[in-house]
Structure 1
Amino acid sequence: MTYSDEYILDILRSVKTIALVGASPKEIRPSFSVMAFLLARGYRVIPVNPGHVGKEIQGQKTYARLADIGEGIDMVDVFRASEALPGIVEEMLALEPLPKVLWTQLDVRDDKAAARAAEAGIKVVMDRCPAIEYPRLIS
């Protein structure tokens, strides 16, 4: 699937709060460096990882599930295996208000789950990294 630069740029400029599913406290993990990048760019990043509930990752309280966050989320950024995507989309669809964007990291894709999110009016970006797209599109 291809996405126009304008489509991605609009997402990066419009979202403020990002739930990072699969966040890790380990500095060697890609989710750690992407979270640091997003925090440094002024986004509010909320880590979601059931193995680290209540602990902090980069100074942010970690939640087990999206439903536990208790505030509106603009974007869900997924650092999980593709097989987890259908369940994550179902979690997203149960939230009120609905998140505006489902973003999946490099090599993470499930076309059926993406279609389900899109049918609900959620913008979808799969197999991309905001920490790559941001510097490419926003100088």
Structure 2
Amino acid sequence: MNHDGYSPGYIRSILQSVKTIALVGASANAVRPSYFVMKYLIDKGYEVIPVNPGLAGQQILGQTVYAALKDIPKPVDMVDIFRNSEAADPITGEALALDPRPSVIWMQLSVRNDEAAARAEAAGLKVVMNRCPKMEYGKLSGEWLWVGGNSGIISSRKQSLHESGKVQSLGLGPKRGY
């Protein structure tokens, strides 16, 4: 796969298919990007499970923090890596050791590890690198336009409200079954 550009359809398929996200590198600090990404994804109806060994057993946004992926007591659909590029390889290895495996490895903005991506794809997982699911959701839903961003998508499709009735979703929210 070309990891320099992802089609809106590819990103949309991921965001529509996943329900449970393990966020590796979660922070309890409300000004850290991982905190507000976690909050945003929870607000969109995803179950987000924080992973941070230094905060294990504590709570972030009402969710119990786990020390490692293997400690999460339920399957996860996606592993969102909020660590540096070097850490992405061992985290991907941990994800591949899970049973069942997640279906997606997502590396946050500025996180890219081609070797980890190749291993995950060879095992049948989808991979996204150097992207933020919050930003990608915002682009697909039209929210990105509210802050002056260019979604890169031209569509005549009418935008729909999220099930909360408060934000646009382009169908990402209501089809999730929440």
TM above 0.5, yes or no, is yes
Give the C-alpha shift of residue 2 in structure 1: 1.1
> What is the CA–CA distance in structure 2 between the aligned matches of 1:66 and 1:14, rounded to whole Å?
20
2:34 equivalent to 1:31: yes
**1:77-128 CA deviation, whole Å, 9 max, x = no partner?**
0100111011001101110111000001100000011100010001000000
The residue matched to 1:103 in structure 2 has which SS?
strand
TM-score, normalised with respect to structure 2: 0.77
The structure with the greater share of residues assigned to helix is: 1
Give the C-alpha shift of residue 70 in structure 1: 1.7
The equivalent residue for 1:130 is: 133
Specify every segment of 5 or more residues in structure 2 that has no aligned partner in the other structure, as ranges.
142-168, 170-178
4+ long deviations beyond 6 Å: none
The residue matched to 2:12 in structure 1 has which SS?
helix
The residue matched to 1:46 in structure 2 has which SS?
strand
Give the C-alpha shift of residue 24 in structure 1: 0.1
The equivalent residue for 2:173 is: none
Amino acid at match of 2:139: R
Specify every segment of 5 or more residues in structure 1 that has no aligned partner in the other structure, as ranges.
none
2:69 equivalent to 1:66: yes
The residue matched to 1:6 in structure 2 has which SS?
helix
Amino acid at match of 1:69: I
Amino acid at match of 2:22: A
> What is the CA–CA distance in structure 1 between the aligned matches of 2:88 and 2:98, rounded to whole Å?
16
The number of equivalent residue pairs is: 139
The residue matched to 1:27 in structure 2 has which SS?
coil
The residue matched to 1:76 in structure 2 has which SS?
strand
> What is the CA–CA distance in structure 1 between the aligned matches of 2:65 and 2:16, rounded to whole Å?
24
Q: Which protein has the larger Cα radius of gyration, Structure 1 or Structure 2?
A: 2
> What is the CA–CA distance in structure 2 between the aligned matches of 1:106 and 1:86, rounded to whole Å?
16
Aligned with residue 83 of structure 2, among 80, 85, 97: 80
The equivalent residue for 2:99 is: 96
The equivalent residue for 2:176 is: none
Give the C-alpha shift of residue 135 in structure 1: 1.5
CA RMSD of aligned residues (A): 0.6
> What is the CA–CA distance in structure 2 between the aligned matches of 1:111 and 1:2, rounded to whole Å?
14
> What is the CA–CA distance in structure 1 between the aligned matches of 2:19 and 2:63, rounded to whole Å?
15
2:23 equivalent to 1:8: no
TM-score, normalised with respect to structure 1: 0.98
The residue matched to 2:48 in structure 1 has which SS?
strand
Could you tell me the percent identity over the aligned residues? 59
The residue matched to 1:133 in structure 2 has which SS?
helix
> What is the CA–CA distance in structure 1 between the aligned matches of 2:45 and 2:104, rounded to whole Å?
18
